[in-house]
Amino acid sequence: MPTNCLFCQIIAGQIPATVVHRTERLTAIRDINPAAPTHLLLLPNEHIGSVAEAQPAHAALLGELLLTAAVVAQQQGLGGGYRLVINTGADGGQTVQHLHVHLLGGRAMRWPPG
């Protein structure tokens, strides 16, 4: 685990966060600066810097992130719809270099995003 990675430290319990779902392979937390009434982050427990750094061996884990996002969305009462976002790299707006899926819901989303 990179010792300077914020999300690795959250997953390890070294930095507090509101955990809403946790398995052996992934953790879902509340975003500290929510951009919607419900704003969760789904994190692989294993450090992967971004989608661009993911390897073929991560295929099942990447699929599990999306499937879990759907399950958690239902649990959070987002049956009417929600948005999943994966910011990737500097131009993609990624600010934390540990792959994460944003789950946003509780309001109507606009398109295109900024």
Query: Contact positions toward ligand 5GP, by CB under 6 A?
Result: 6, 17, 29-33, 41, 87, 93-96
End-to-end CA distance of the chain: 32
Q: Which of 4, 79 has the CB closer to ligand 5GP?
A: 4
Nearest to 14 by CA among 25, 5, 23: 5
Q: How far is the CB of 88 from ligand 5GP (least distance, A)?
A: 8
Peptide bond into 56 cis (omega under 30): no
48-107 positions binding Zn ion, by CB under 5 A: 98
Question: Is 100 an annotated catalytic residue?
Answer: yes
3 sits in which H/E element: none
Q: How far is the CB of 63 from ligand 5GP (least distance, A)?
A: 20
Q: Report, as residue numbers or ranges, the catalytic residues.
A: 100
